[in-house]
Structure 1
Amino acid sequence: MGFLGAEHAILQAPLGPDLSCPELVAAVSNAGGMGFLRAPDQDRPEVVKQLIQRTRELTERPFGIGVILHFPHEENIKAALEEKVSALWVFWGEFPEEKVDECHKAGVKVVHQVGSVEEAVKAGQAGVDAIIVQGVEAGGHVRSKIGLLVLLPAVVDALQGYNIPIIAAGGIVDARGYVAALALGAQGVCLGTRFVATHESIAHPLYKRKIVEAKVSDTEYTDLYGRSRWRAPHRVIQTTSHELWKDELPADGTEVGQPIIGHTTIYDRDEEVPMFSGKVPNSSTTGDVENMVMYAGNGVGLIHEIVSAASVVKALVEGAQVIIQQQLGRMMDSSSSREGRPTMV
């Protein structure tokens, strides 16, 4: 098999808090990619085990689970290792060598998402099994301040000799982005926004529609949402309500005390959704969905329809093969043309 046991090095990002449900993850893995569940932002090992067990009912292929290191996570990781999930995805924090070794002893691979060369080198030194390089173009919470076009080759150069697969993330939604990432030195790609707009994702229908309708200029890098939980930049769709409210929240403000604009069920818990909350609307969400955060990367303008997760993987693989063959053909034609020209002296 190829990447971490999957046929193709095409990863579906762990979409939070619960959008990458077992159905989506299994669909990606069954199509030859590698799907990733998302662990809760609290230590809830029983939920982690339920998610993994449900996904195993839907696929025999490798899949993983993502953990945000900024939040309580020790029990969640312990549960993932006990379940012997194929891979653990970690992000937004340190994951030193002893933690990596613990995962390896349990037979679990480690994928570390980073947003800088320095983070990538630390992950390489810790002995992770793959590194995801996230450019500033990415949707959701964004670690990087640099575009993928520059950051990715810089990481590739810095990790020469480590023999660690490098995966590109940020604004990639189609085969053209896949091939571009390969040209920059990546061995594969990671997609988030494209998989939100699939049939299997449990994102709210309005959220999916906003992705499909968005233009390439319709995302914004901001820190407006979810400030009480973490003060970190994120990329969102510029909805009408976002444009209306983005300058209203004081610099030191949070969503605490803001009006409740809806309700949602995340995993098995009913929760209120305050204005400016970082809770994305899922299929259970009710209320003023238009005013809720909708994370998305710069690639939204290239997404024109809601499709199956399997068709996303297939289009990436087959499309990339066509592009590469076409480029090789052009190169061969160009070389033959030059060889037939008279030499200028």
Structure 2
Amino acid sequence: MALKGILGFEHGIVQAPLGPDISGPELVAAVANAGGIGLLRCPDWECPDYVREMIRKTKTLTDKPFGMGVVLAFPHELNVKTILEEKVAVLQLYWGECSKELVDDAHSAGVKVVPQFHIDLAPTRKAVDVGVDAIIVQGHEAGGHVSGKDGLFSLLPRVVDLVGECDIPVIAAGGIVDARGYVAALSLGAQGVCLGTRFVATHESYAHPIYKRKLIEYEKTEYTDIFGRARWPGAPHRVLETPFFDDWRSLPSHENEVDQPVIGRSTIHGVGMSPLQEKEIRRFAGTVPNMTTTGDLESMAMYAGQSVGLIKEILPAGEVVKSLVEEAQLLILKKFNNVA
């Protein structure tokens, strides 16, 4: 068990692509400058010009490599074409099939492909066959949209065994916020870790200050489907157990956000209106509050992983990367080097 970089990066620390626009250029650049793998979040609608602008803005903030995450469940072909033209280092994919054609196109552009899986081993096996560069294994503990029911530490070693001698790094995601989780993942065969909630709670994230504060105040989360049923059906998610959620956790299955009252407004990816993201935020919409959001923020979705209770303060993103690596090194040195 040892710490090392992956995919040509200095450290095996991945900052998840936080939606809908929480991981903007400032956060991604801060992670990249610290040696980690920062991932922008691609919009959920086709807007190649904006994608190009986001990538180029990030390049003005760092000369280090970074990537972008794409949700394959939404329109994405033009966006992906732009991502490959801009030659980011990593194309991260989730919630959809990672095709050989897409992998080949990315490799032709010099871009590495890293899909994320959270259901069963069949899609992982197929991804290995089409030549992906790494695999993210997401456990049920993760915040945000998660369809898998297996915990990370039961799923992770199975994927590591499946990959076997393919020389493909396996990256662990779900409920990891500190060095103890990092080392635990390494001990099960992972070569890196992907953190979401911990990076939402950083100075550079584009989350609203109230959202960030709630990540410090609350310790419990719940796996639910009450947010965003119309926009993204069949996509359960893990959220903070806020008073609003406690009041509405038993929302009847036939109800969704469509006919609900407007509780706020937000500019998302610089856009007030679009086919999939509206300026108006209705009750039970799956939109988390960003820096521009106004209205009843207490009643909005706030995604968080199960280990949120371990997050005690808002930190600079670079400090998160540095402390993960340094504390993990110290933990391995003190606890494991002399184990018989």
Query: Normalization by structure 1: what TM-score?
Result: 0.94
The yes-or-no answer on 1:322 pairing with 2:325 is no
How many Å apart are 1:161 and its aligned residue? Answer: 2.2
Partner SS, residue 211 of structure 2: helix
- For 1:72, the equivalent position in structure 2 comes to 75
Q: Matches of residues 27-176 of structure 1 in structure 2 within 5 Å? A: 27-115=30-118, 116-176=120-180
Which runs of no fewer than 5 residues in structure 2 stay unpaired?
Answer: 273-278
Q: Matches of residues 270-309 of structure 1 in structure 2 within 5 Å? A: 270=272, 271-309=279-317
How many Å apart are 1:212 and its aligned residue? Answer: 0.8
How many Å apart are 1:97 and its aligned residue? Answer: 1.2
Q: Is the CA contact (8 Å cut-off) linking 1:114 and 1:120 kept in structure 2?
A: yes
Give the letter for the 2:319 counterpart: S
CA distance in 2, matches of 1:47, 1:265: 14
How many Å apart are 1:329 and its aligned residue? Answer: 4.6
2:200 to 179, 196, 201: 196
RMSD of aligned alpha carbons: 1.1
Q: Is the CA contact (8 Å cut-off) linking 2:41 and 2:69 kept in structure 1?
A: yes
How many Å apart are 1:34 and its aligned residue? Answer: 0.8
CA distance in 2, matches of 1:32, 1:157: 28
CA distance in 2, matches of 1:150, 1:50: 40
Residues 21-50 of structure 1 deviation map (CA, whole Å, 9 limit, x = unaligned): 100000000001010000000011111101
Partner SS, residue 67 of structure 1: strand
How many Å apart are 1:253 and its aligned residue? Answer: 2.1
Q: Is the CA contact (8 Å cut-off) linking 1:134 and 1:143 kept in structure 2?
A: no
- For 1:17, the equivalent position in structure 2 comes to 20
Distance 1:308 1:91, change over 3 A: same
Residues 299-330 of structure 1 deviation map (CA, whole Å, 9 limit, x = unaligned): 10100000000110011000100110012354
- For 2:257, the equivalent position in structure 1 comes to 255
1:182 to 181, 186, 205: 186
How many Å apart are 1:184 and its aligned residue? Answer: 0.6
How many Å apart are 1:96 and its aligned residue? Answer: 1.3
CA distance in 2, matches of 1:329, 1:191: 26
Q: Is the CA contact (8 Å cut-off) linking 1:10 and 1:188 kept in structure 2?
A: yes
CA distance in 1, matches of 2:173, 2:282: 30
- For 1:211, the equivalent position in structure 2 comes to 215
CA distance in 1, matches of 2:172, 2:42: 22
Q: Is the CA contact (8 Å cut-off) linking 1:220 and 1:235 kept in structure 2?
A: yes
The yes-or-no answer on 1:228 pairing with 2:230 is yes
- For 1:343, the equivalent position in structure 2 comes to none
Distance 1:3 1:289, change over 3 A: same
CA distance in 1, matches of 2:131, 2:43: 25
CA distance in 1, matches of 2:307, 2:135: 21
CA distance in 2, matches of 1:320, 1:2: 13
1:239 to 238, 242, 250: 242
- For 2:268, the equivalent position in structure 1 comes to 266
How many Å apart are 1:106 and its aligned residue? Answer: 0.9
How many Å apart are 1:125 and its aligned residue? Answer: 1.1
How many residues get paired? 329
Give the letter for the 1:179 counterpart: V
Query: Normalization by structure 2: what TM-score?
Result: 0.95
CA distance in 1, matches of 2:41, 2:167: 27
CA distance in 2, matches of 1:52, 1:269: 16
Partner SS, residue 113 of structure 1: strand
